[in-house]
Amino acid sequence: MFILVNLKAYPCDPIAVATAARDVAEASGARIGVAPQAADLARVAETGVETWAQHVSPNGHGSHTGSTLAEAVADNGAAGTLINHSENRLKLADIDGSVGAAERAGLETIVCANNPAQIGAAAALSPDAVAVEPPELIGGDVSVATADPGIVEDAVTAAEAVDPEVDVFCGAGVSTGDDVDAAGELGASGVLLASGVAKADDPAAVLEDLVSGL
């Protein structure tokens, strides 16, 4: 089970969260990653935590002002990247381009989607993983695995029908160890979460709870 903490653009201390995640991962043996803002990638990677980007652009080097190059992300210590998060949606061709750019740079890829039908389309692009995140549950207190377990099961089925090698994660509302356990029971091999850790008074305590059942 992979736990990936997306810091989005929250006003948290990325180094404090990264350090807590590193320490909990080392103590528990769990795989925990942190996805900070692009400007913080190198500093977060220096803590030793598994570091992910929140996005990479589909293009390579050239006249592309404002792009986030996969090569630059990798050079700054990232191991992987999210693509097509609900808050940063892309056209299908650009998702495909971003997956390709990430793979050429040696990055792992997680393509996000809103529902099982989109999960199937995302899996067809052969990322390392797809993640189902219903937008209406993002940032809430109720996990998708509790509010709508069927969508997780259907996402797993949809991905397996297209490419059994693609892992399926779930996100939206994940904040406790029980949520992580429920996701695993439904067939997910990872979870994405954000506010539950990024906005917590004690990120380490939340992370310890998240891994408690693993």
Q: Which residues are catalytic?
A: 85, 133
Enumerate long-range contacts of 193-196, CB under 8 Å, 24 or more apart. 193/3, 193/4, 193/5, 193/6, 194/5, 194/6, 194/7, 194/8, 194/10, 194/138, 194/139, 195/8, 195/10, 195/139
Structure tokens at 6: 């997306």
160 phi/psi in degrees, rounded to 5: -65, -35
**Is 199 flagged in the annotation as binding?**
no
**Is 194 flagged in the annotation as binding?**
yes
**Is 76 flagged in the annotation as binding?**
no
Interatomic CA distance for residues 73 and 80, integer angstroms = 9
**Is 187 flagged in the annotation as binding?**
no
**Is 7 flagged in the annotation as binding?**
yes
Tell me the binding residues for substrate: 6-8, 138, 173, 194-195
Tell me the binding residues: 6-8, 138, 173, 194-195
